Each structure stands twice: as C-alpha cells, then as structure tokens.
C-alpha cells in the first residue's frame, strides 16, 4: 500500500494513502480518512476538472445498438485482449480475436496506421464515463461524468440519439482508476459540502457554518502563521516533484497538492521510486541555534497571547508599552530549553577526545525525533549515504546503538542542514586540488574514485580500471569516467575511530568498543604520547581547546606555572592593543567527571613562537599531541592463569613509576539553610565532638587548605536547630545555672564519605547578600582581591615596559630640543642618559623632530589610557569578588571543598588498548617474577593471547610489532649517541628511518646540531604515524624491525621470572598503548550497615549512591536451596531484607546478647496481598 506524506516545518501533516481496494484517501493530522476527491473539491475543482487532471479519455462513436466504434491509440492496448480481429489495410489479420496484445503487436498496429476499431456493446459495460451527457433539446442531464456504463445507460443513449461519448482510459497494469474510485464513494458534490466534510473530521461535534468551514480549511495549509514548509521543506518538495526551481512559498498551493497526488498515482502505476527514509538526503541535522529559535518563537507566542489579553481588559487606556509586555515567558522558554532539554547534556570531560566527540555528536532521539523503543533496525543500520558523513563505527553499545552517531572527520552541514563531505575534482584522469563539498542528494549522480587509488607524480590515475562509487553502488569504472575522488582514506570515520592505528585490521564490533573506550580514558599523571599513532593526535589535541595555542606570533617574555606572557611581533599588533598577550593557565581544576584539568607550559623565556603554536599542554596531551595512555612493553602469553578471561597481569614497576597514577578531584558541598526552627550555622562549635575531630578546622569551622583527610573527617562543621524537647528537671536546673543551650542543636557537619583519602586543595565560601561574612570568607576574599591586583599589576607592568621599550627605540640617537636634568638643545640622546632618568621623565623630553614629538605625545596618552583602563578593570573585578552571592531561596551560606585524591592502579581497575581489547587487572606481580627478555628487560604487562583470534582485532598485534620496532630504533639511536658515533652515521641512520616509506623527509637541510637534537629527542622511541586505511603494510613493519635489529617475526625468547627457564616457544613482545579507564575499583567498592529502606516494600535500597544493599536474587536463592541451607535462606528473605518487626527484634537480640532468630512476615508479601485485594479477590491468612 503506497502513501504520500507532506511534513511541514510547522503545521498540519497531509497524508494520501491507498486502501486494499485501490481507493485513494486523504488524512489530515492522522485523523480519520476521507476520499481524496473531497480535498480536491474543497480546493474549488468540480468533477469534470478532477477527471481531466488525472485521466486520458477514449472517444466512442455510437454506430448501432450493438456496435460502437472506438478511436484506437495503440499504446493503450498493451496487455488487453480484444474480442475481434484487428486487421491491417489489406485485410491482413494483425491480432487475432482474444489474443493478449504485446509490444510487437503494437508496433505492427502503428505501422498499419489503424485509426479506429469496432467493438461490441459488452466491451463498454463497467467502464466509466469521461464526461457528462446532456440532452441538447431539453437540457436534461442524461449521465454525469464518472458514471458507470450499464446496459440501461447505453439504451438511454440510443433512445436519446446520443451520437458519441467518452470513457476513461484505465487498466490494471499501468493506469489505475484510483481517483475515479474515490469519486464514486465520495458523498460530497459541491465545494461547500467538501469543506463541511473536512470541518467535521477536524472538529467532530461542532456545528459547521460556511465561514467557519472556509476559515478552518484556509488555516490548515494556506496561511503562513499556521503553516510553514521552511526553505528546506520547499527545496525538498520541489526536488521530489522534479521541478526546476528550489525556492517558493512556505505554504502549499493548489498545484502542490495536485502534483503530490499525481506523483503518488505514478508510483502506484509502477513508475517512479519510493523514498528511502534512511537516506541522508532525507535526514537533516537540526542545529542548536535552530532549536533555540523555535523555543524563542514559543516564548513570543505566549507573550503575544498575554498582551492581547491585557489589551482586552477595560482599564487598558493610558498604559505604557513596558507595562503591557512581560518578557518572562521568552526567558523561561529559553532557560527551560538549556536547562532541561533532552539534548542539552552535561559535557563528557573525561579527556580531550571525549569533549571533541561529545560536541560532534548527532542524535536521532530527543524532541521531534525518534523514541528508543519504537526505533527499528533500519533506522539504526549503516546506510550507503553515511560514507564520509557519519561514522559507521562509533556509536554507543546498548539500546541507543545506531540512533546516536558521530560526524565523520571532514563532514559539515550545509545551509539546509544536510551533511556534506569533501571530494577532489578529477579532470581527464588528472586529480586536481580543487575541493567540492557534496550532500547525499547531489552525490548519487557522480562517479567517485576511492582514496586508495594509485596516482603518479603528476597526479594522474595510473590504473585503467578504478574502484568507484556511483548511484550508491560500488563498481569498477574506466579511469576516464571518474569525476571526483575521495579526499582522504580517513574521511569515512569519526575522530575517535581515526586515532586507532591499524583500524582496517580490526573487526567492526571491536573497533566500536575501541573508539568508545578511548573516551573513558583517565588523564594520567605524566602524559605520554603513543609510539604508534595515526597522525591525527596533534589535530585532536589542538582543536579540543584543552591546550593553550598562541593567538599571535612573538617572543616569550615570561613563563611560570600559572601563566605565559608573549610579546607580540610588531607586524601582528592590532591597533589599540598593548602588544602583549597574557595566557593564564588552568591549574588543578575539577572536570565534570571529577578528573583533573591542569595545564603545563611547554615554552621557555626567549622562545620565538608563531601564531597557532602550542604554548602549554592540557590534560592528556604531551608536546601538543593527544596522549590518553602509556606505552607499555607487553607480552602475549598465559601466566599461571592470572590472565584468564581477559584479565590483565601487570608488573609492580608500572605502579612504582606512577605510570597509571591519576588525580581525581572531588567536590563536596555544605549548605546552611534557614529552617522553621531557626537558621543552620557553620561553626567549629559542634556538640558532642572531641577536640581531635576539630583539629583540621579553623575558627569558622571550615577545613584548612592542605589538610590530609580520611573517611569520616569533618570538612565543614554545621549545626541545625532541633525541635524543642521536654527537659528533665536536672537539665532544667543546669540550664538555669549555666544558661547552656547545647542540647537544642544537632550535628549535621559535612564529613568525608567512605573510600576517599585526599588533600584539601581549595575552599570556596559563598554568602548570601546581607548575611555577615565569617573570618574564613573574608580571608578568601582578601586573597582573591590581592591575586586579581597582582595579575593586573603584572599585566600593566609588562604592557608599560613594552611601551617604554618602544619609546627608547624612538629617542636614542635623536637630537633633543629640551628635557629634564638640564638637557641642552641639540644634544644627541643616549641610552646611558635615559637609564639615569626615571622612566616617567622620558615623556618630558622634547625633540627637534616634530613628527616624533607628536608620536611621543600619543604614546604618553596611551600610557595614561592604559592606567585608567587597568584601574577600572580592577574596580570591576574587586567589586565582583566582594559582593554577596546569588544563592537559591532559603540558603544562607554555601561552602565548597575540593579534595584531590591520588589513585594508583590496583587489582580491579579496568584497562584497555585502542582496539576494544579491555580487561580487568587481576594481580600486580613483583618485577623479578615477570617474564624477561634475553637482555634482562622484564615486560610490563602480560596479556592473554586467546583475546585475539575470536575477537578478530588483529590491529593490536600489528601495533605491538610496530611499537617494538619504534622503541628498538630509539634504543639504537641512543646507543649511537652514547658511543659518540660520527654525525654522518647518525644522519644516515635517521635518513633510513624517515625515508623508507610514507611521506619523505628531507634531513639534508638540518644542521649537525639539529640532527643531534632530533636524535636526542628520539631515544625513547621513534614515533610512527600509520593513518587509518592507509597505514603501514606488513613489509613496512618487517623493514622497521630489521632496521632496529629485532627479529622480523616480531617474537622473541622469554624467560620465566621465577625459575629463570626459557619458555618453550617464542613469544610476541612489543609496545602497546594502554589506557586506564574511568571504571575504578575504588569508586565501585561499597559496603552497607543499617541504611535507608524503600518506602513500599521496606527492602534496602540499591546502589552505592543510596548506600544500598546487595540484591540476593532468584539464582542466589536457588543456590542456597541446592545446599539445603534453610536458616541462612530464611534470614536472607526476612530479617536481612523486609521483615520490619523481625529486623528490630533481631537488633535487640544481638544487643542483649541472645543470638536467636525469630522470622516474621516479609513486607513484600503484605504488598502482594494488598495488590490482589485491589483486584477484588479477598485473600486471608489462616490463623493456626
């Protein structure tokens, strides 16, 4: 069953559909269906016009009561069987009676030029009339258009002397009678009846009037307030109907609706194609701006409604516009969008890659999108048009698979919101550097060559037959026909997938896990860039925004841990700017995922930098390259069962060297509120707490910065008023004597939660406006103001220093007119003279050269202006720091404490490579017990070889080989430098490494010192880039291994660390880049004592966050049943779970020292009883 749907940007949906009887219907907004002719009639068409629009007609002459002559159109006969012979001009029978007419027959009939054919009466029965027939003498209507021809009707024709009539040309093959069928069942006959019919469908139960029916229909599709196709909608609409122009009205017109119907009927007749809903030409990206625009419109509509209501009230005279308009609804709509929209998400800040990926994400979920439950397989599947636009690999595992995707590396959206990907133009076999971006709609018509095609030096295609894509199919095409070519081999995949080396050797499922797990890598203490990368690492690190990048070129003036000062090059200074760039670095800040964001400078004073250079590394970056993990020496072999089922065995050396030590920053909040009984107070005076517990707090009750805290320590002391309690006479006496009120407050201090040992690195105190600030708050505020002043002073000093340097260069060597210290006219000014003056006095010097005097005056003004501006900036900053904070209602004070927690790697932590090879650490083994190589080097990690074959991620093995080669080359270079080999030998070796394959590097331009510096940087290993789908071959890897003096097999003899014996077989050893993932055992470890219970079932809550219990599930119950452990099972299901009275009794028994169990009725059983009773079935327990 075919259907057509017009979906506007806003407004009613219009559907046309067939039913199983081949009648065409229309639905508006998915309501009940009406025959399609009702809509056409409502558009002002009568029956004749409708029939003329959709049908061709056969002309029939009446010869006698039984014989009729029909005009013959040969093409309409295909597939028909005619009951008489069709004869040619000489009486030759072309088609025998009863034969089905084929294409061959049609050609013969056309050749014979037969114009008419006589047919018997019964051939016309059941056909439909193509036009109304009127008795000319009386004006009486004998038959209407679309009436069915019957015996009676033909008799009437003959009686009334009707000489000719027309019938509709329809057949079952390629010209169905769909509109005619719809007209037959359509009850309406006039435009008004049709409008009323539509009104009744849209508003059932309301009495229609002519005006209301016309107004409703007009508002449905024909007014721009209620209906808008949008520019994209109109473009797609016109394209789909094969029109030339791509622009037009936002509303529908009569032609639009008729054309849609014609197109649908064409498709039903077997011409034309059905749309593919998953084609990226039919799916567009709605950007944030567009969604905000829609929210803004919603807000404005609400404002408009409110204004209209306000104006209709009686007392609206003399109002000012600002009294009528309330802008709150607009602000509320936008706040709601950013605050609670499904697509407004908390940024994933684990590491730079996860930030970039999260920002490049496209989702089919959310408002106006799909629901997870309803999305079928087709929507989630990879489509041919995803090529170069959406990554086929990176998507979440689980219920969202395929619904959330990542943009490919070079993809971008065009003005309509469709995804485009770049291609290089190919002209006459020559690949040019001209780049065109194509959307999925435009791409189909081109022949596009693959990126891996061989090209000679001149950029011409070498092979005569080239692998291409055309009309969404992969084909082999002649090189002359190629029109475009892929820009790069990696344009198919996303950023995360493009930094997996040897991705082309991994199974897609594992590659998916690999790209997803890189986003969970925790930034390590010392970042280390991968030995085997893909060349994308630098781009990702730079574009993620975590590094500090020079905005303008210049010279490094000063560097410390928290800022970098660059004196900008003269030619890059923007008019009115001071010529100094100051970059403040982020130090030990908490990310959204509690990992640590810290920037470290890479430059030294005096370094020359140009625009775009990386000045400081951020988290997980090393020398401006993305560095998510560490290069580890691994061996693929089983080891005493400790790497069973993907477990990972690591060496104690990894822990000792802090290779995977990470810093996590926890933020703890303490809020003092105003309660009904009085306000809470943050204080060090806490009831019933010993001195030792308060040792780390200051007099305001807030922990010191730098204090080392452990679980249970107080971070912020807080007391809350208690309700008045009945006092005993003794307490009354004490109160009367000492006036003591200690018992009215309870201790609600903020304590360190279990499992956290750390150091306090920062404390912030926020105080409500009008509430007096405590000592600590004032102290923090003072420090902040001082820091701001120091920063601005430094800035001013640097800026002024720069300006005075410029003045000095202007003055020295010029002839003076006058100046301080009795400077004689005409004297040449020297640097010595200037140094003896104070800098401010330089501005008093007047020169003979008037132009320079004007320049000096301008500079003096600039200095004054700078000072005023800096003072203003300081005023604004200090005001910002000292003013009260805007806190939530009822909150008086809020204290935030930041703890830095150092987490070493330990058994239970999750680690992974970049190929989806994940595992959990099973044990940390002393270095001396690890397997070691012949030269005595112990390996760092032992992985299970069985993790490779079934998972089919062979990329990890190739990475290991190439990593070993890279490290081996570095060791060899190191030995050459140690042996102080002659420079030519080192240069030759480097030439061999860099010019073996891939991009050739010209080392001839390097000086000897530069060669030595380069070699020195490579001693830890020569970094290799093996781009995705265009990487190193096995030959390349063998060549590199040979160059490094390592076995070409990539395997070597290993010895058992405990016995010193060699293993029977050679083992694959090499360097793999390993990541530590943010699934740390410390965060998952959890134990519960008495804690919170669920309200209805009275069972303990679940999960660490709720301090919940462990679920003793169905299978665990079976296990206890199998052991026959009846009492254990009973207490599991009662007193340890939801037997309320039993729990309390058990507690009492234990306290009293009687260890006996009295189980009662579990609460969940009572819940079940109540639920059954709610169904009207009474269940009672029999009392014994």
> CA 1119, CA 1133: separation in Å to the nearest integer?
14
Between CA 1108 and CA 1115, with CA 1109 as vertex, the angle to 5 degrees is 135
pLDDT at position 164 is 87
| Residues 1078-1127 pLDDT 10s | 999 998 898 988 889 999 989 999 888 888 999 999 999 999 999 999 99
CATH fold group of domain 379-508: Rna Polymerase Beta Subunit; Chain: C, domain 4 (2.30.150)
| Domain pair 676-761 / 1088-1174, same fold | no
* Residue 387 CB-density burial (10 A; 0-12 exposed, 13-18 middle, 19+ buried): buried
Per-residue pLDDT at 739 exceeds 70: no
pLDDT at position 966 is 97
Cβ atoms 580, 797 nearer than 8 A = no
Per-residue pLDDT at 1160 exceeds 70: yes
Q: Taking residues 909-935, what's their average pLDDT?
A: 96
Domain regions of the chain by residue span = 3-49+187-268, 56-171, 288-378, 379-508, 627-661+905-1085, 676-761, 782-882, 1088-1174
CATH number among 3.40.50.970, 3.40.1350.10, 1.20.58.1690, 3.90.1110.10, domain 3-49+187-268: 3.90.1110.10
| Token couple for 963 | 């990593």
pLDDT at position 490 is 94
> CA 465, CA 675: separation in Å to the nearest integer?
81
pLDDT at position 321 is 81
Per-residue pLDDT at 113 exceeds 90: no
> CA 847, CA 849: separation in Å to the nearest integer?
5
Q: In the predicted model, what is the mean pLDDT of the chain?
A: 91
Of 142-151, 510-519, 970-979, least confident by mean pLDDT is 142-151
pLDDT at position 672 is 94
| Residues 653-670 pLDDT 10s | 999 999 999 999 999 999
Per-residue pLDDT at 820 exceeds 80: no
Per-residue pLDDT at 823 exceeds 80: no
pLDDT band at 928 (very low <50, low <70, confident <90, very high): very high
pLDDT at position 130 is 87
DSSP string, 31-81: -S-EEHHHHHHHTT--HHHHHHHH--EEEEEE-SSSEEEEE--GGGGTT-B
Cβ atoms 955, 1029 nearer than 8 A = no
| Residues 258-305 pLDDT 10s | 999 999 999 999 888 899 999 999 999 999 999 999 999 999 999 999
Cβ atoms 811, 834 nearer than 8 A = yes
Cβ atoms 599, 618 nearer than 8 A = yes
CATH 3.30.1460.30 matches 627-661+905-1085? no
pLDDT band at 384 (very low <50, low <70, confident <90, very high): very high
Of 94-98, 735-739, 998-1002, 1140-1144, least confident by mean pLDDT is 735-739
1172: which residues sit within 8 A by CB, 6+ positions away? 1179
Cα–Cα distances in Å, from 812 out to 804, 807, 821, 842, 858? 12, 9, 16, 11, 18
What sign results for the dihedral spanned by CA atoms 945, 947, 952, 958?
A: negative
DSSP 665: E
pLDDT band at 724 (very low <50, low <70, confident <90, very high): low
Q: Look up the pTM and report it.
A: 0.87
Cβ atoms 735, 678 nearer than 8 A = no
| Token couple for 794 | 């430094």
pLDDT at position 229 is 92
pLDDT at position 741 is 56
pLDDT at position 596 is 94
Please give the backbone phi and psi of residue 752, each rounded to the nearest 5 degrees, phi first. -75, 125
pLDDT at position 810 is 80
Residue 921's closest CA among 1072, 1077, 1068?
Answer: 1077
Q: Taking residues 164-178, what's their average pLDDT?
A: 87
Cβ atoms 180, 168 nearer than 8 A = yes
- HEC sequence for 988-1043: HHHHHHHCCCCCCCCHHHCCHHHHHHHHHHCCCCCCEECCCCCCCCHHHHHHHHHH
| Residues 694-707 pLDDT 10s | 999 999 999 999 99
| Residues 218-227 pLDDT 10s | 999 999 989 9
pLDDT at position 649 is 97
DSSP 568: E
User: β-pairing, 662-675 with 554-560?
Assistant: unpaired
Per-residue pLDDT at 400 exceeds 70: yes
pLDDT band at 9 (very low <50, low <70, confident <90, very high): very high
- HEC sequence for 877-928: HHHHHHCCECCCCCEEEEEEEEEEEEECCCCCCEEECCCCCEEEEEEEECHH
Between CA 1124 and CA 1135, with CA 1130 as vertex, the angle to 5 degrees is 155
| Token couple for 857 | 């005056």
Alpha carbon dihedral 1078, 1079, 1080, 1081, in 10-degree steps, equals 180
pLDDT at position 1073 is 97
pLDDT at position 937 is 96
Chain length of the chain = 1184
Per-residue pLDDT at 812 exceeds 70: yes
| Residues 178-193 pLDDT 10s | 999 999 998 888 999 9
Cα–Cα distances in Å, from 644 out to 362, 647, 1096? 38, 6, 43
Cβ atoms 935, 530 nearer than 8 A = no
Residue 1094 half-sphere exposure toward CB, CA atoms < 13 A: 16
What sign results for the dihedral spanned by CA atoms 347, 352, 353, 357?
A: positive
425 vs 839, higher pLDDT:
425
CATH 2.40.50.150 matches 676-761? yes
> CA 1038, CA 1028: separation in Å to the nearest integer?
19
Place of tokens 């080396």: 501
Place of tokens 């599991």: 1132
> CA 697, CA 776: separation in Å to the nearest integer?
11
Residue 1029's closest CA among 442, 408, 235?
Answer: 408
Q: Taking residues 1130-1148, what's their average pLDDT?
A: 92
Alpha carbon dihedral 133, 139, 140, 145, in 10-degree steps, equals 30
pLDDT at position 39 is 95
DSSP string, 309-372: HHHHSTT-TT--HHHH---HHHHHHHHHHHHH-TT------SSHHHHHHHHTEEES-STTS--T
CATH fold group of domain 1088-1174: DCoH-like (3.90.1800)
pLDDT at position 740 is 58
| Residues 325-352 pLDDT 10s | 888 999 999 999 999 999 999 999 999 9
pLDDT at position 725 is 67
pLDDT at position 687 is 86
pLDDT band at 1004 (very low <50, low <70, confident <90, very high): confident
Per-residue pLDDT at 742 exceeds 70: no
| Residues 594-606 pLDDT 10s | 999 999 999 999 9
């Amino acid at each position: 069953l075919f259907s057509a749907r017009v979906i506007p940007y806003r407004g009613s949906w219009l559907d046309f559909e067939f039913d199983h009887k081949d009648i065409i219907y229309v639905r508006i907004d998915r309501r009940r269906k009406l025959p399609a002719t009702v809509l056409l009639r409502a558009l002002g068409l009568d029956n004749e016009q409708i029939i003329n629009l959709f049908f061709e007609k056969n002309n029939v002459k009446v010869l006698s009561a039984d014989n009729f002559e029909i005009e013959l159109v040969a093409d309409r006969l295909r597939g028909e069987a005619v009951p008489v012979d069709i004869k040619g001009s000489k009486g030759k029978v072309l088609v025998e009676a009863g034969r089905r007419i084929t294409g061959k027959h049609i050609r013969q009939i056309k050749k014979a030029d037969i114009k008419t054919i006589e047919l018997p009466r019964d051939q016309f029965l059941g056909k439909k009339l193509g036009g109304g027939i009127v008795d000319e003498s009386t004006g009486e209507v004998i038959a209407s258009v679309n009436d069915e021809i019957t015996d009676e009707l033909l008799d009437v024709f003959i009686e009334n002397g009707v000489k000719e009539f027309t019938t509709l040309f329809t057949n079952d093959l390629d010209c169905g009678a769909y509109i005619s069928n719809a007209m037959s069942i359509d009850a309406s006959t006039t435009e008004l009846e049709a409008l009323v019919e539509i009104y009744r469908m849209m508003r059932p139960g309301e009495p229609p009037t002519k005006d209301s029916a016309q107004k409703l229909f007009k508002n449905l599709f024909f007014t721009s307030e209620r209906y808008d196709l949008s520019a994209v909608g109109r473009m797609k609409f016109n394209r789909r109907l094969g029109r030339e122009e791509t622009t037009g009205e936002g509303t529908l017109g009569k032609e639009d609706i008729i054309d849609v119907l014609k197109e649908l009927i064409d498709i039903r007749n077997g011409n034309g194609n059905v749309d593919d809903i998953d084609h990226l030409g039919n799916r567009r990206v709605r950007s944030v701006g567009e969604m905000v625009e829609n929210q803004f419109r919603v807000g404005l509509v609400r404002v408009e409604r409110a204004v209209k209501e306000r104006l209709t009230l009686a007392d609206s005279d003399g109002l000012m516009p600002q009294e009528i308009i309330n802008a709150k609804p607009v602000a509320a709509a936008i706040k709601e969008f950013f605050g609670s929209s499904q697509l407004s998400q908390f940024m994933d800040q684990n590491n730079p890659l996860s930030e970039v990926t999260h920002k490049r994400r496209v989702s089919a979920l959310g408002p106006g999108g799909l629901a997870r439950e309803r999305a079928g397989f087709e929507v989630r599947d990879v489509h041919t048009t995803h090529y170069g636009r959406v990554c086929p690999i990176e998507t979440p595992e689980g219920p969202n698979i395929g619904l959330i995707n990542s943009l490919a590396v070079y993809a971008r959206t065009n003005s309509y919101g469709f995804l485009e990907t770049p291609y290089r133009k190919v002209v006459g076999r020559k690949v040019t550097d001209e780049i065109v971006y194509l959307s999925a709609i435009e791409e189909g018509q081109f022949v596009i060559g693959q990126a891996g095609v061989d090209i000679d030096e001149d950029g011409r295609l070498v092979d005569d037959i080239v692998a291409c894509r055309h009309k969404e199919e992969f084909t082999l095409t002649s090189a002359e026909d190629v029109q475009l070519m892929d820009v790069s081999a990696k344009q198919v995949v996303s950023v995360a997938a493009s930094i997996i080396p040897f991705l082309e050797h991994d199974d897609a499922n594992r590659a998916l896990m690999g790209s997803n797990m890189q986003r969970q890598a925790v930034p390590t203490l010392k970042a280390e860039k991968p030995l085997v990368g893909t060349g994308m690492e630098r781009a990702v690190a730079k574009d993620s925004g975590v590094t500090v990048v020079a905005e303008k070129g210049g010279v490094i003036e000063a560097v410390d841990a928290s800022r970098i000062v660059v004196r900008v090059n003269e030619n890059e200074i923007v008019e009115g700017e001071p010529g100094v760039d100051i970059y403040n670095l982020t130090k030990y800040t908490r990310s959204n995922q509690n990992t640590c964001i810290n920037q470290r400078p890479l430059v030294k004073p005096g370094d020359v930098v140009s625009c775009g250079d990386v000045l400081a590394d951020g988290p997980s970056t090393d020398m401006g390259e993305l560095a998510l993990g560490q290069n580890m020496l691994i061996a693929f072999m089983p080891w005493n069962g400790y790497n069973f089922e993907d477990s990972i065995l690591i060496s104690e050396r990894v822990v000792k060297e802090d290779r995977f030590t990470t810093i996590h920053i926890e933020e703890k909040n303490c809020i003092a509120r105003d309660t009904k009984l009085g306000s809470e107070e943050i204080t060090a005076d806490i009831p019933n707490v010993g001195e030792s517990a308060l040792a780390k707090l200051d007099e305001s009750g807030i922990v010191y910065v730098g204090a080392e805290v452990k679980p249970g320590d107080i971070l912020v002391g807080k007391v809350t008023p208690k309700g008045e309690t009945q006092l005993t006479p003794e307490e009354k006496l004490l109160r009367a004597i000492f006036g003591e009120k200690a018992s009215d407050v309870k201790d609600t201090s903020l304590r360190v939660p279990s499992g956290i040992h750390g150091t306090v690195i920062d404390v912030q105190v926020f105080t409500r406006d009008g509430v007096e600030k405590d000592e600590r708050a004032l102290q923090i505020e003072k420090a902040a103001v001082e820091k701001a002043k120091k920063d601005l002073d430094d800035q001013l000093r640097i800026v002024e220093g720069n300006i005075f340097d410029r003045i000095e260069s202007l003055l020295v060597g010029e002839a003076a007119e006058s100046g301080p210290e009795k400077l004689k006219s005409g004297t040449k000014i020297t640097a010595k003279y200037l140094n003896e003056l104070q800098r401010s006095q330089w501005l008093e010097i007047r020169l003979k050269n008037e132009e320079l005097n004007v320049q000096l005056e301008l500079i003096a003004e600039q200095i004054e202006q700078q000072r005023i501006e800096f003072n203003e900036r300081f005023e604004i900053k200090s005001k910002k720091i000292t003013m009260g904070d805007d806190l939530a209602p009822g909150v008086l004070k809020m204290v935030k404490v930041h703890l830095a927690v150092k987490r070493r790697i330990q058994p239970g932590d999750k680690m992974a490579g970049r190929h989806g090879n994940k595992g959990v650490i099973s044990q940390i083994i002393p270095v001396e017990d690890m397997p070691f190589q012949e030269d005595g080097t112990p390996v760092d990690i032992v992985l299970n070889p069985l993790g490779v074959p079934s998972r089919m991620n062979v990329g990890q093995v190739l990475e290991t080989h190439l990593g070993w080669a890279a490290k081996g080359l570095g060791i060899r270079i190191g030995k050459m430098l140690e042996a102080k080999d002659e420079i030519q030998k080192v240069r030759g070796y480097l030439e061999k490494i860099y010019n073996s394959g891939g991009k050739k590097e010209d080392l001839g331009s390097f000086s000897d010192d530069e060669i030595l510096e380069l070699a020195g940087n490579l001693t830890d290993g020569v970094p290799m880039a093996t781009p995705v789908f265009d990487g190193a071959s096995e030959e390349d890897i063998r060549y590199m291994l040979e160059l490094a003096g390592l076995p070409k097999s990539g395997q070597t003899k290993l010895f058992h660390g405990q016995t010193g014996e060699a293993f029977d077989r050679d083992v694959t050893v090499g360097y793999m880049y390993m990541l530590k993932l943010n699934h740390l055992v410390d965060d998952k470890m959890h134990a519960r004592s008495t804690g919170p219970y669920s309200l209805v079932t009275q069972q303990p809550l679940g999960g660490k966050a709720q301090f919940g219990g462990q679920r003793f599930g169905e299978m665990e119950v079976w296990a206890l049943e199998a052991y026959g452990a009846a009492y254990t099972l009973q207490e599991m299901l009662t007193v340890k779970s939801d037997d309320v009275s039993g729990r309390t009794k058990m507690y009492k028994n234990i306290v009293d020292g009687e260890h006996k169990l009295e189980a009662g009725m579990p609460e969940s059983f009572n819940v079940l009883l109540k639920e059954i009773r709610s169904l009207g079935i009474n269940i009672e327990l029999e009392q014994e």
